[in-house]
Amino acid sequence: MESTQPWFRVFVDGFAPNMSAAELEALRDGLLADDSRILQGTTTNPLPLLCVSEWPCEGACPFAYVEMAMQDAMGMQATVGECEQRFAQLCYGADALLGDRSGCRHLLNWIDSTPRAEMIRNLLAAVNGVLESRSSTDRVNAALAGIREEELATTQGE
Protein backbone atom coordinates (compact mmCIF):
# COMPACT_ATOMS: atom_id res chain seq x y z
CA MET A 1 0.00 0.00 0.00
CA GLU A 2 1.43 3.32 -1.08
CA SER A 3 -0.06 6.50 0.24
CA THR A 4 0.82 10.15 0.37
CA GLN A 5 -1.48 10.63 3.35
CA PRO A 6 0.37 12.15 6.33
CA TRP A 7 -0.90 9.44 8.71
CA PHE A 8 0.60 6.75 6.47
CA ARG A 9 4.01 8.41 6.29
CA VAL A 10 4.03 8.82 10.08
CA PHE A 11 3.20 5.15 10.55
CA VAL A 12 5.69 3.79 8.01
CA ASP A 13 8.57 6.19 8.71
CA GLY A 14 7.97 6.94 12.39
CA PHE A 15 6.08 4.25 14.30
CA ALA A 16 6.87 1.04 12.41
CA PRO A 17 10.67 1.37 12.67
CA ASN A 18 10.26 1.53 16.46
CA MET A 19 8.13 -1.62 16.58
CA SER A 20 9.38 -5.19 16.58
CA ALA A 21 8.00 -7.72 14.13
CA ALA A 22 6.19 -9.37 17.06
CA GLU A 23 4.54 -6.06 17.96
CA LEU A 24 3.49 -5.44 14.36
CA GLU A 25 2.10 -8.98 14.17
CA ALA A 26 0.19 -8.47 17.43
CA LEU A 27 -1.29 -5.25 16.06
CA ARG A 28 -2.12 -6.99 12.79
CA ASP A 29 -3.88 -9.81 14.61
CA GLY A 30 -5.89 -7.37 16.72
CA LEU A 31 -6.92 -5.38 13.66
CA LEU A 32 -7.85 -8.55 11.76
CA ALA A 33 -10.06 -9.65 14.65
CA ASP A 34 -11.46 -6.12 15.06
CA ASP A 35 -10.58 -6.58 18.74
CA SER A 36 -12.95 -4.40 20.76
CA ARG A 37 -10.04 -3.52 23.04
CA ILE A 38 -8.57 -1.40 20.22
CA LEU A 39 -9.98 2.02 21.05
CA GLN A 40 -10.26 5.37 19.34
CA GLY A 41 -10.34 8.75 21.07
CA THR A 42 -8.32 7.71 24.12
CA THR A 43 -4.93 6.23 24.89
CA THR A 44 -6.12 3.74 27.49
CA ASN A 45 -9.18 2.62 29.39
CA PRO A 46 -9.09 3.48 32.23
CA LEU A 47 -7.60 6.86 31.39
CA PRO A 48 -3.82 7.07 31.88
CA LEU A 49 -3.86 8.79 35.26
CA LEU A 50 -1.21 8.17 37.91
CA CYS A 51 -3.83 7.03 40.43
CA VAL A 52 -4.84 4.11 38.17
CA SER A 53 -1.47 3.33 36.58
CA GLU A 54 -1.32 -0.08 38.27
CA TRP A 55 -4.86 -1.07 37.25
CA PRO A 56 -5.33 -3.60 34.45
CA CYS A 57 -5.69 -1.96 31.06
CA GLU A 58 -9.04 -2.91 29.52
CA GLY A 59 -8.58 -1.23 26.13
CA ALA A 60 -6.22 1.10 24.33
CA CYS A 61 -5.41 2.97 21.15
CA PRO A 62 -3.64 0.78 18.58
CA PHE A 63 -0.15 1.65 19.82
CA ALA A 64 -0.86 1.14 23.52
CA TYR A 65 -2.84 -1.97 22.54
CA VAL A 66 0.43 -3.48 21.32
CA GLU A 67 1.62 -3.67 24.96
CA MET A 68 -1.63 -5.35 25.98
CA ALA A 69 -1.36 -7.92 23.20
CA MET A 70 2.31 -8.67 23.89
CA GLN A 71 1.62 -9.25 27.58
CA ASP A 72 -1.48 -11.32 26.76
CA ALA A 73 0.77 -13.59 24.70
CA MET A 74 2.91 -14.17 27.81
CA GLY A 75 -0.15 -14.90 29.96
CA MET A 76 0.10 -11.58 31.77
CA GLN A 77 -2.19 -8.57 31.97
CA ALA A 78 -0.76 -5.17 31.10
CA THR A 79 -1.38 -2.24 33.38
CA VAL A 80 -2.55 1.19 32.35
CA GLY A 81 0.91 2.54 33.20
CA GLU A 82 2.71 -0.05 31.06
CA CYS A 83 0.46 0.63 28.08
CA GLU A 84 0.86 4.38 28.47
CA GLN A 85 4.64 3.98 28.71
CA ARG A 86 4.86 1.96 25.48
CA PHE A 87 2.58 4.46 23.74
CA ALA A 88 4.82 7.34 24.88
CA GLN A 89 7.96 5.50 23.72
CA LEU A 90 6.48 4.93 20.28
CA CYS A 91 5.34 8.55 19.96
CA TYR A 92 8.70 9.90 21.11
CA GLY A 93 10.55 7.54 18.77
CA ALA A 94 8.33 8.47 15.83
CA ASP A 95 8.78 12.18 16.45
CA ALA A 96 12.55 11.71 16.62
CA LEU A 97 12.68 9.75 13.36
CA LEU A 98 10.42 12.24 11.63
CA GLY A 99 12.37 15.24 12.95
CA ASP A 100 9.13 16.80 14.17
CA ARG A 101 8.35 17.20 17.87
CA SER A 102 4.68 16.54 17.22
CA GLY A 103 4.82 14.50 14.04
CA CYS A 104 2.93 11.61 15.58
CA ARG A 105 -0.20 13.78 15.77
CA HIS A 106 -1.00 13.15 12.09
CA LEU A 107 -1.40 9.44 12.72
CA LEU A 108 -3.06 9.75 16.13
CA ASN A 109 -5.58 12.34 14.91
CA TRP A 110 -6.36 10.18 11.87
CA ILE A 111 -6.97 7.13 14.09
CA ASP A 112 -9.30 9.10 16.36
CA SER A 113 -11.25 10.87 13.60
CA THR A 114 -11.63 8.10 11.02
CA PRO A 115 -14.64 5.78 11.12
CA ARG A 116 -13.59 2.55 12.83
CA ALA A 117 -14.06 0.20 9.86
CA GLU A 118 -12.05 2.49 7.58
CA MET A 119 -9.32 2.98 10.21
CA ILE A 120 -9.03 -0.76 10.80
CA ARG A 121 -8.92 -1.53 7.06
CA ASN A 122 -6.32 1.11 6.21
CA LEU A 123 -4.10 0.62 9.26
CA LEU A 124 -4.20 -3.14 8.68
CA ALA A 125 -3.07 -2.63 5.08
CA ALA A 126 -0.22 -0.40 6.28
CA VAL A 127 0.86 -2.94 8.93
CA ASN A 128 0.76 -5.75 6.37
CA GLY A 129 2.83 -3.64 3.97
CA VAL A 130 5.51 -3.04 6.59
CA LEU A 131 5.59 -6.73 7.56
CA GLU A 132 5.82 -7.76 3.90
CA SER A 133 8.60 -5.26 3.29
CA ARG A 134 10.53 -6.55 6.28
CA SER A 135 10.03 -10.13 5.14
CA SER A 136 11.40 -9.27 1.68
CA THR A 137 14.38 -7.52 3.24
CA ASP A 138 15.00 -10.54 5.49
CA ARG A 139 14.94 -12.87 2.46
CA VAL A 140 17.41 -10.67 0.57
CA ASN A 141 19.71 -10.45 3.59
CA ALA A 142 19.56 -14.23 4.07
CA ALA A 143 20.41 -14.77 0.41
CA LEU A 144 23.32 -12.33 0.62
CA ALA A 145 24.55 -14.02 3.78
CA GLY A 146 24.42 -17.38 1.99
CA ILE A 147 26.42 -16.00 -0.92
CA ARG A 148 29.01 -14.53 1.45
CA GLU A 149 29.33 -17.85 3.31
CA GLU A 150 29.74 -19.67 0.01
CA GLU A 151 32.44 -17.18 -1.12
CA LEU A 152 34.20 -17.51 2.21
CA ALA A 153 34.16 -21.31 2.01
CA THR A 154 35.51 -21.13 -1.55
CA THR A 155 38.38 -18.79 -0.64
CA GLN A 156 39.26 -20.82 2.46
CA GLY A 157 39.33 -24.03 0.40
CA GLU A 158 41.87 -22.61 -2.06
Q: Which residue type sits at 101?
A: R
pLDDT in tens, 8-43: 999 999 999 999 999 999 999 999 999 999 999 999
Between 3 and 34, residue with greater pLDDT: 34
pLDDT in tens, 80-123: 999 999 999 999 999 999 999 999 999 999 999 999 999 999 99
**Binning pLDDT at 50, 70 and 90, where does residue 144 land?**
low
pLDDT on residue 54: 97
pLDDT on residue 137: 63
Q: How far apart are CA 131 and CA 24, in angstroms?
A: 7
Between 143 and 130, residue with greater pLDDT: 130
The answer to whether the beta carbons of residues 14 and 97 sit under 8 Å apart is yes
pLDDT on residue 4: 80
The structural domains of the chain, with segments of one domain joined by +, span 6-157
Q: What is the DSSP letter of 144?
A: H
Q: What is the DSSP letter of 38?
A: B
pLDDT in tens, 61-74: 999 999 999 999 99
